Amino acid sequence: MDALDRLWTRATAEVPLPLEVLVLTALVALVVVTSPALWRPARTVVTIAHEGAHGLAAVATGRRLAGIRLHSDTSGLTVSAGRPTGLGMVLTLLAGYVGPGLFGLGAAALLAAGYAVGVLWAVLALLALLLLQIRNFYGLGAVLVTGAVVVGVTGWLPAAAQAAFAAVVTWFLLLAAPRTVLELQAERRRRGTPDSDADQLARLTHVPAAVWVAVFLLVDVAALVLAATWLLAG
Print the SS3 string covering 20-34: HHHHHHHHHHHHHHH
- Domain carrying residue 104: 12-232
The mean per-residue pLDDT over the stretch 136-149 comes to: 97
Name the residue with higher pLDDT: 191 or 227.
227
Is 1 part of any domain? no
Structure confidence at residue 111 as a pLDDT band (50, 70, 90): very high
The answer to whether residue 176 scores a pLDDT higher than 70 is yes
Name the residue with higher pLDDT: 30 or 83.
30
The answer to whether residue 7 scores a pLDDT higher than 70 is no
Is 2 part of any domain? no
Is 7 part of any domain? no
| Among the listed residues 111, 113, 148, the one whose alpha carbon sits nearest the alpha carbon of residue 127 | 148
Which tens digits make up the pLDDT trace of 194-232? 899 999 999 999 999 999 999 999 999 999 999 999 999
Which tens digits make up the pLDDT trace of 64-73? 999 999 999 9
State how many domains the chain has. 1
Is 203 part of any domain? yes
Look at residue 123 in the predicted model and tell me its pLDDT.
Answer: 97
Is 144 part of any domain? yes
> In angstroms, how far is CA 176 from the centroid of its own chain?
9
Look at residue 213 in the predicted model and tell me its pLDDT.
Answer: 98
Look at residue 13 in the predicted model and tell me its pLDDT.
Answer: 73
| Among the listed residues 205, 206, 209, 217, the one whose alpha carbon sits nearest the alpha carbon of residue 189 | 209
